[in-house]
Amino acid sequence: MKLLAHILCLSLALAMGWADSHHEHTHEAEPDRCKGLEMDAAVTCVLGGAFFFSHDHLFKGFHGKAELSNESFPGLDDHHHHVDAAFLMHYEDEPTEHKRVFLFLDDKVFSYHEHKLEDGYPKAISEVFPGIPDHLDAAVECPKPECDEDSVIFFKGDDIYHYTVKTKAVEEKEFTSMPNCTSALRFMEHYYCFHGHMFSKFDPKTGEVHGKYPKEARDYFMRCSKFSEDSDHVERERCSRVHLDAITTDDAGNMYAFRGHHFIEKEEGNDTLKADTIESDFKELHSEVDAVFTYESHLYMIKDEEVFVYKIGEPHTLLDGYPKPVKEELGIEGPIDAAFMCGDHHIAHIIKGDHIFDVDMKASPHTASDERPIALFKKVDAAMCGAGGVKVIVGSHFYHFDSPMLLVAGKALPEQHRVSMELFGCDH
């Protein structure tokens, strides 16, 4: 069963660097992903999600602090310099148990399967990938038909190498329309070249860059509170690769979506989007909403162990007496991952981990009851319900169910949809 849930592989930590094995290594200062630093390498996790390398640290996903590489991979204690390049070996013809992550350091390559360094590694790059030079700048996988054959694209300065996995043939190409890459990433079937703290989306066959690039990487691949003055907030939130924290629709069908320090408001019946900071409209919340649902023209917004209830309208007004503890207001212990209500029903559906609870909003006091397991998801980022049914958001995708009952009873994942494209109309 395929489950695209980057949260399932957040345990995969991949970073390393070189050090003189005869001297004690001193770790570099912990990097801050929101300071505009240059990432040394990037790689996609086996089940989705992205990982970014900076010197001897690793960033997991799109937010959170850096971690030392040797905390996740103690076998790399003798190698603590920056990773030059990384890619995920994952093709249709390759058995699931052989999905591997390759890391390149100077003239060596390391191969990992499920956190563990494979026997015989590290090896010389020339031994594993003949024809590929040492001291690479970036690498990215390119499965067919995105490339003519299952391939890996290697970058070194102005030189581009297409390496065919089966035949080990190497073809040098010229990508004249894109800058030199310091790292590269295949994500959601698109290809990204990172250069400094900027990125460009490119065609893996030709290197052509279409659209308005380069763009600020922190706007689309990081969840940071502040961005450059040149950032287009609506464009960023519409097309961000970072998962949503919460989402809901009001009685009029207007959609509210929350991500980090920002939120998106989309009016029913048109494609108009408003994007702003959460603090600008919900000043008591500041940022980082865990879950939200709509009931009787009010937004119930859950953050940590508290519930904030706002009257829908301009401006959004916090009701007297709030915030209140989650346990007091909903009869369940926090934290909560997602929440939703369907139409004019009075049952709030609360999701914690892989279980769902019902809260009758007309009952007094509110209590969480009818606990049921959700077989399809270990963790949900956000969920909402409308006339068309329930949308469950995991990572950069969402899944549609006709009803809460079918969500609970589901045994196979329905069709996968892209949040940025199908909910917000992003065209790239």
303 located within any domain: yes
Q: Output phi, psi for 230, to 5 deg.
A: -85, -5
Same-domain pairing of 330 and 183: no
* 290 and 193 in a common domain: no
41: in domain: yes
pLDDT of amino acid 200: 92
For the residues 299-312, what does the mean pLDDT come to? 95
Q: Using CA atoms, how far apart are residues 313 and 304, in angstroms rounded to an integer?
A: 24
Name, of 94-103, 220-229, 298-307, the range with top average pLDDT: 298-307
Q: Across residues 156-184, what is the average pLDDT?
A: 93
Strand-pairing partners, residue 141, are 152
Quote the number of domains for the chain: 2
- Rounded CA gap, 300 and 66, in Å? 32
- Same domain assignment for residues 266 and 198: no
Which of these three, 171, 189, 221, is where a domain ends?
221
For 46-88, the DSSP string reads TTS-EEEEETTEEEETTSS--EEHHHH-GGGTT--S---EEEE
Question: Which residue among 194, 221, 248 closes a domain?
Answer: 221
pLDDT at 92: 61
**The length of the chain, given as a count of residues:** 428
| Contact of 369 with 357, CB cutoff 8 Å | yes
CB 258 within 8 A of CB 246: yes
Q: What is the DSSP string of 166-213?
A: TT--EEEE--TTSPPPSEEEEETTEEEEEETTEEEEB-TTT--B-SS-
Domain boundary among 192, 221, 250: 221
Residues 6+ apart with CB under 8 A from 224: 33, 34, 218, 260, 261
| CATH number of residue 283's parent domain | 2.110.10.10
pLDDT confidence of residue 1: 39
Find the mean pLDDT for residues 72-77: 60
- Looking at the fold, whether 191 and 287 belong to one and the same domain comes out as no
Q: How confident is the model at residue 97 (pLDDT cuts 50, 70, 90)?
A: very low
- 427 falls within a domain: no
- CA 262, CA 369: separation in Å to the nearest integer? 32
Task: Tell me the average pLDDT of the chain.
Answer: 84
Question: Based on the domain organization, do 272 and 170 belong to the same domain?
Answer: no
- What whole-number percentage of the chain has pLDDT above 90? 50
Q: Is residue 297 over pLDDT 80? A: yes
pLDDT band at 227 (very low <50, low <70, confident <90, very high): low
247 in the same domain as 209: no
* 352 within some domain: yes
Looking at residues 78-91, what average pLDDT do you find? 78
pLDDT for res 242:
84
Tell me, yes or no, whether 35 lies in a domain.
yes
Residues 162 and 276 in one domain: no
Cβ neighbours for 345, distance < 8 A, ≥ 6 positions apart: none
Residue type, 183: S
pLDDT tens digits for range 379-419: 999 999 987 899 999 988 999 999 999 999 999 999 999 99
Whether 210 and 279 share a structural domain? no
What pLDDT was estimated at residue 38?
A: 82
In a domain, 228, yes or no: no
* Confidence band, pLDDT 50/70/90 cuts, at residue 94: low
Q: What pLDDT was estimated at residue 225?
A: 64
Separation of alpha carbons 185 and 52, rounded Å = 9
- Do 237 and 92 share a structural domain? no
**Domain annotation covers residue 227:** no
CB contact at 8 A, 325 and 305: yes
**Are 211 and 255 part of one and the same domain?**
no
pLDDT for 174-203, tens place per residue? 898 888 999 999 987 889 999 988 899 999
**Domain range for 34:** 6-221
Residues 254 and 389 in one domain: yes
- For residue 248, being part of any structural domain is answered with yes
Residues 70 and 153 in one domain: yes
> Does position 95 have pLDDT exceeding 60, yes or no?
no
**What whole-number percentage of the chain has pLDDT above 70?**
85
Q: Is the pLDDT of residue 369 over 90?
A: yes
